[in-house]
Amino acid sequence: MLGLFDKLKEGLAKTRNNIFNNISAALTGKKNIDEDFLEALEEILISADVGVNIALDIIEKMRKDVKVSTTASLEEIVKLIKKELTEIIKDFSNPVLNIENKKPAIIMVCGVNGVGKTTSIGKLTTYFKNSGKSVMLAACDTFRAAAIEQLDIWAKRAGTECIKHQHGADSGAVAFDAITAAVSRNIDILIIDTAGRLHTKTNLMDELKKIKKVINQQLPDAPDEVLLVVDATTGQNAINQIQEFNKYLGLTGIILTKMDGTAKGGLVFAMLKDLKVPIKFIGVGEKLDDLRVFDINTFIDALFDTEDFNIKK
């Protein structure tokens, strides 16, 4: 299995190459960094979805740090970007899952349809199982066609049990039964799959709040984690999703999927800067081990690694 840096580097190739190619094009014919290049770099960073505020911060800091003699090379630019980004996110420590000393630890997973929610739950189950934890799943997505069957397939792959009712059943009742089963069987972690929701539909979001209330009534300190699965390819729309789900549910973390399919991986920085919800896992591929615990410093190193990039002279 590839280490975190190598896997992130592989998964972030599309974003990295997009940024580097654009920087290389903007550097064409330049011997030193000038104002025209900095303006172009600002647009490049915004197009990578780092967020307008962060892009402006980086360029402003670079204006102060760049000397007239600073060489206009890709390596020099990447070095400066990494320096400024590291300074901007220095106060963001790597997230910790709130599941220690909890048995069962209850993890509620939510997200809009199509973001890879159920697949992420399967990968999350594998992650915990590989860590020596016993895991149970709860199929509270009782409305979407085949959602229960899909989760059950993931449970079988991971060698764990899935608590389920019939299609159209009350999702709160499923959550209640799953918690009862997890407690009685001394399960370490119960992952509760909730129905995919459009964050703009108030009535559907209210239903999610009811599931959380059922969980809390049965175990007063639960859920221990409320994780929102977000598709990185949606760009800035992901920010809106996080804000709305957080308003209704009080999110504890983000699972950011499909980073290997986007050229806008800078979204991570916008999320950390503008939102108060930490990124806890990041998806960088289709394999079961491609869901990794998020580490911001490793992410920066992998995103701006120049070793394999064919620099245009």
- Choose the weakest-confidence range: 1-10, 51-60, 94-103: 1-10
Q: Which of 64-78, 127-141, 197-211 has the highest mean pLDDT?
A: 127-141
| Residue 298 token pair | 């490793």
DSSP state of 112: -
92 against 209, higher pLDDT: 209
Q: Kindly state whether residues 55 and 188 are assigned to the same domain.
A: no
Tens digit of each residue's pLDDT (9 = 90 or more) over 249-262: 999 999 999 888 88
Taking CA atoms, 212 is separated from 59, 130, 178, 201, 257, in Å, by 43, 27, 13, 17, 23
Answer whether residue 16 shows pLDDT above 80: yes
- To which H or E segment does residue 189 belong? strand 189-194
User: Residue 60 pLDDT more than 70?
Assistant: yes
**Full residue range of the structural domain in which residue 119 is found:** 105-294
- Looking at the fold, whether 52 and 114 belong to one and the same domain comes out as no
Q: What is the DSSP letter of 43?
A: H
Indicate the pLDDT class of residue 160, thresholds 50, 70 and 90. very high
19-28, 31-40, 194-203: which has the minimum mean pLDDT? Answer: 194-203
Q: Are residues 64 and 113 in the same domain?
A: no
The pLDDT, as a whole number, for residue 312 is 43
Inform me whether the pLDDT recorded for 204 exceeds 80.
no
Looking at the fold, whether 42 and 81 belong to one and the same domain comes out as: yes
Could you tell me if residue 305 is inside a domain? no
260 close to 285: Cβ distance less than 8 angstroms: yes
What is the domain count for the chain? 2
Domain boundary (93, 117, 141) is at 93
Is 155 domain-assigned?
yes
pLDDT interval class at 199 (50, 70, 90):
low
Q: Is position 289 within any domain? A: yes
Percent of the chain with pLDDT strictly greater than 70 = 95
Q: What angle do CA 302, 117, 255 make, to 5 degrees?
A: 35
CATH number of the domain that residue 24 is part of:
1.20.120.140
Instruction: Name the residue among 97, 160, 176 with its Cα closest to residue 123.
Output: 160
In whole angstroms, what is the distance from residue 51 CA to residue 236 CA?
A: 8
> Which has the higher per-residue pLDDT, 71 or 40?
40
Angstrom distance (rounded) from CA 83 to CA 62: 9
CA–CA gap between residue 182 and residue 224 (Å, rounded): 14
What is the C-alpha end-to-end distance of the chain, expressed in Å? 35
The pLDDT value given to residue 93: 66
What gap in Å lies between CA 245 and CA 251, rounded to an integer? Answer: 7
Residues 72 and 118 in one domain: no
Instruction: Give the pLDDT confidence score for residue 200 in this predicted structure.
Output: 65
Distance CA 186, CA 218 (A): 16
Confidence label for 309 from pLDDT (cuts 50, 70 and 90): low
Question: Rounded mean pLDDT of 1-12?
Answer: 80
Pairing verdict, β 279-283 and 291-293: antiparallel
**142 in the same domain as 207:** yes
Residue 68's region, left for phi above 0, alpha for psi from -120 to 50, else beta, is alpha
Find, among 192, 167, 168, 170, the residue nearest to 179 by Cα: 192
Whether 307 is in a domain gets the answer no
CATH at residue 189 = 3.40.50.300
Rounded Cα–Cα distance for residues 155 and 138 (Å): 10
Q: Is residue 100 part of a domain?
A: no
pLDDT at 234: 86
Largest CA distance in the chain: 70
pLDDT of residue 169: 85
The mean per-residue pLDDT over the stretch 227-231 comes to 94
Predicted confidence (pLDDT) per residue in 254-295, tens digit? 999 988 888 888 888 888 888 878 999 998 888 888 888 898
Q: Is the pLDDT at 100 greater than 60, yes or no? A: yes
82 and 38 inside one domain: yes
Domain boundary among 59, 93, 127: 93
Q: Is 209 inside any structural domain?
A: yes
Residues in Cβ contact with 246 at an 8 Å cutoff, skipping those fewer than 6 apart: 228, 275, 276, 277
- Indicate if 111 and 224 belong to the same structural domain: yes
| Per-residue tokens: 31 | 């011997």
